[in-house]
Amino acid sequence: MKRIIFFTILICATLQVRAQWSGNTDFSIHGFGRGSVYGGSKAYDLTSVFAELSLQASLKKGPAILESDIRFTTGMFFNEKDARFRIRELYAGYKSQKFDIFLGNQIVIWGRMDGFNPTNNITPSDYFFLSSDPADQQQSNFMLKMQYRPLPGVDLELVAIPFYKMSSYRFDLFDMGELGKYLLFGDDMLPERILANGTYAVRANFDYPAFGGSVSWFQGYDPYHGFNVVSVNWASAQPVVRIASTPYRKTAIGADVAIPVGNLMIVRAEAAYNHTKNPDKKMFIPNPDISYVVGIETNVLGCTVIGQYIGKYTFDFFPLSVPVSPDANDPASLVQYAEKYIDYENRLFNRKVFNQQERTNHAVSLTITRSFAYDVLSAECTGYYNITSKEWFVRPKLSWRISDALMAVVGGNYMRGGEKTLYGYSSAVMNGAFAELKVIF
């Protein structure tokens, strides 16, 4: 109730400020309200049912900038009632012809590929906020962002994040079969909040009619974390293993490029080298790797078609060996075997999270979109297939612009994977259909 009152006061105060500003002030307020339903999975009839109000305000007075996206969401998520007040973005800053500086909660997305961006190491995601728009899963960080434009078409960007925020996986919702009988998910293991644990990243970006591209450097904790064994309880006949989300530091060097080929297509490529330390000693740290994506965007029979190849090469890769069962009459050997098997299973699980099950990982994706009736209707379908792990998903969506202010969206998400794969675990929760009605103001 207190959150609702606060949110109402904030709206009223914002509208009052709008009435008071005058002169050369550029102020706008817009947003949306929506109702969303997502359901039909094996685990949940209704996975999420929520209503949401988004208030997005923008203020520009001379070089001063203020941007905000504040949301209030209430509903049922995985059979649990929840009301969320989220400051998705809220930052202030200074903007001039050559130099910008912004401080506050911001979402920064790097990379030129569609959906798979090896250079995008800054923004965490809540993969279990299910709606019609995958961009809703993006979460902001409190950060300092500076941009400098020394030449036309060239900008240099610096990002500094003092406190770490990890992506949300919610694997605790999955039925993990035999593994789940002795596995418990504990509280997240977050790094100490000191500047030495902060994140720093820089990028040089180039935008010209003939091509666009960038080179970037990242140093900090990766939002896409691993899992570590926190404790093992031997009180019962079968050990109970508690694992927790645990972040790791890395250094990443990346680049991307987009090149138009006449009026026919755009060729894009993006890659990043990710360097980590001590992956052999810590199960939640992936091996160093190179992630890369190559794709084309073209128009076929009025459809926009985006095809991509997604690959990864893992350095210092070695296959994990299944521990050998010991003599059943030797209690000490049995305990050692159990410890080795716990280590084996959790390392194998982390490799699936990191897409490092094999030395090389290969996948393809295809997205097709088309508009009808003068953009009143828009159809989109994305498919993905991992050649290495044999996992795949398809996500169709149909949007109907009923009026300038009213939009309806329907679609679905269906994924499949073999036994003990991530898609195999998550399909029982993530599969389903969605419908949404949105009023835009």
For residue 418, being part of any structural domain is answered with yes
Give the span between the Cα atoms of 238 and 241, in whole angstroms. 10
Give the span between the Cα atoms of 49 and 37, in whole angstroms. 5
Mean of pLDDT over the chain:
91
For residue 262, being part of any structural domain is answered with yes
**DSSP E strands, 41-140:** 46-61, 64-77, 80-95, 99-106
What domain count does the chain have?
A: 1
How confident is the model over 162-199, as pLDDT tens digits? 999 999 988 888 887 777 777 888 889 999 999 999 99
| Burial per residue of 145-171, b for 16 or more beta-carbon CB atoms within 10 angstroms, e otherwise | bbbebeeeeebebebbbebbbbbbbbb
How confident is the model over 384-395, as pLDDT tens digits? 999 999 999 999
CB atoms within 10 A of CB 285: 23
Instruction: Walk along the chain (441 residues) in steps of 10 and give the mean pLDDT of each run.
Output: 44 44 78 97 95 96 96 96 94 96 97 94 94 94 97 97 94 80 85 94 96 97 94 82 94 97 93 96 96 97 96 96 80 80 90 95 97 94 97 98 97 94 92 97 94
Element of type H or E holding 43: none
Please count the CA atoms within 13 angstroms of the CA of 229 that sit on its side-chain side. Answer: 22
For residue 99, being part of any structural domain is answered with yes
For residue 18, being part of any structural domain is answered with no
Please give the structure tokens belonging to residue 216.
């970037």
pLDDT of 23 reads 54
- Provide the residue range defining the domain that includes 432: 25-440
pLDDT of 27 reads 94
How confident is the model over 81-96, as pLDDT tens digits? 999 999 999 999 999 9
For residue 232, being part of any structural domain is answered with yes
For residue 13, being part of any structural domain is answered with no
CB atoms within 10 A of CB 23: 6
For residue 15, being part of any structural domain is answered with no
User: Which spans in 299-402 are helix H?
Assistant: 331-354
Please give the structure tokens belonging to residue 229.
């064994």
For residue 19, being part of any structural domain is answered with no
pLDDT of 129 reads 94
pLDDT of 16 reads 44
CA nearest neighbour of 359 among 351, 367, 349: 351
CATH number of the domain that residue 196 is part of: 2.40.160.10
